[in-house]
């Protein structure tokens, strides 16, 4: 019994320090300190973009914006989504069926106890939202569910 307890204790200690548990720190073209981001962004922008928060559904004026133009990162102005790929998903967040390739990066988010595909700005690392496979079937089938506060709209 004593050997079993020692074995289990060792297993727990070593499994918690394995390579799979170590977070990889990614470097972005635009990198700032927390103090610099806080000085640049509003409280809600900081919460969403830098702390991976989520704004309340139906709170963003960009949700019902149907003008032609480009949606850019609110932190660094990188073009992320085009207006022609925006659709009304009914979820309360701006939704797009595709991103501007190369400007949006993807990762895994397990904060809710299950895995979701997170999206972030490929230039500054700002959290944008998540992508799901329940978008329009007549296009990509994807729904990029994006926090409006993470975006700025640049009209054509």
Q: How many Å apart are CA 62 and CA 64, to the nearest integer?
A: 5
41: phi then psi, degrees, rounded to nearest 5: -100, 155
Q: How many Å apart are CA 132 and CA 120, to the nearest integer?
A: 14
76 is catalytic: no
76, 121, 124, 145: the active-site residue: 145
Q: How many Å apart are CA 115 and CA 132, to the nearest integer?
A: 11
Catalytic positions, please?
145
């Amino acid at each position: 019994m004593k050997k079993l307890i020692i074995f289990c204790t060792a297993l727990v200690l070593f499994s918690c320090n394995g390579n799979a548990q170590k977070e990889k720190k990614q470097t972005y073209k635009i990198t700032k300190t927390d103090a610099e981001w806080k000085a640049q962004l509003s409280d809600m922008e900081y919460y969403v973009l830098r702390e991976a928060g989520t704004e309340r559904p139906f709170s963003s004026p960009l949700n019902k914006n149907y003008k032609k133009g480009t949606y850019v990162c609110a932190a660094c102005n990188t073009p992320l989504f085009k207006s022609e790929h925006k659709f009304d998903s009914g979820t309360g967040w701006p939704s797009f069926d595709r991103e501007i390739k190369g400007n949006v990066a993807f990762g895994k988010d397990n904060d809710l106890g299950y895995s979701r595909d997170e999206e972030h700005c490929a230039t500054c690392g700002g959290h944008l939202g998540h992508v799901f496979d329940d978008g329009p079937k007549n296009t990509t089938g994807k729904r990029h569910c994006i926090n409006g506060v993470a975006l700025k709209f640049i009209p054509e």
